[in-house]
Amino acid sequence: MPDDTSTAAAKPAGITFGDLVVPDTPTSAAALEVASAYQSPALLNHSVRAYVWAAARAMDQGIEVDAELLYVAALLHDMGLVAEFDSHTEPFEVAGGHLAGVFTAGAGWPAERRRRLAEIIVRHMDPEVDVATNPEGHVLSRAAALEILGRNADDFAPDFRGGVLERYPRLGLVAEFLT
C-alpha cells in the first residue's frame, strides 16, 4: 500500500505516495485480505496499482471520491478473473460486481452502497465514465485503461509512474491475462 513516509517523485501537481491515503476501515482491511488470499501476486499488484492511479488522479484533478468505496472497488474489480469466482454465465466484471456485493453485504454495507460498488466494478471496463455521476467509476476506469492498455499514462509524471511500478511491479500480468 502507499507508504506515508515516502518522498517518492511527485506528479506535476506535487502529489507523492505519501499524499495517497489507504482507508483505515475494517472493510478496507478485509478487502485487502481477500484480494491477497485469492489473487496472484501479479493480479494483486495490478489491483493496488489501479487504486494508486485512481486515487492520485482524483487528488490531482480535485475529484471528490469516497476513498473506501474506491479502494474496495480497486482491490476487487478483477475478482471475476480468479478461478474460484470465474463465471461461465457472466462477464468477469459482472461476476466481480456480484462478488463485491456479497462481500460488502457481509461487511454490513447498505444496499445502495453495495449497488454503487457493483456499478463501479462493472463500469471499470467502459472507455468513458461520467465523472459527475460516478466519480469513483471514472477514476477507476481511467486507471484500468492505464494498467492494461497504457492509455492515460501522461496523466502522471514519468517519475511517479516509475515509482508505482517499482513498488508494485507488473510480475507478468500481461501473460497472466492472456492465459
* pLDDT at position 26: 96
Kindly tell me if the per-residue pLDDT of 173 is higher than 90: no
pLDDT 10s digits, 131-140 = 999 999 999 9
- Average confidence (pLDDT) over 61-69: 95
Is residue 29 over pLDDT 90? Answer: yes
pTM for the whole structure: 0.86
**Residue 5 has what pLDDT?**
35
HEC string of the chain equals CCCCCCCCCCCCCCCCHHHCCCCCCHHHHHHHHHHHHHCCHHHHHHHHHHHHHHHHHHHHHCCCCCHHHHHHHHHHCCHHHCHHHCCCCCCHHHHHHHHHHHHHHHCCCCHHHHHHHHHHHHHCCCCCCCCCCCHHHHHHHHHHHHHHHCCCHHHCCHHHHHHHHHHCCCCCHHHHHHC
Provide the pLDDT for residue 7.
35
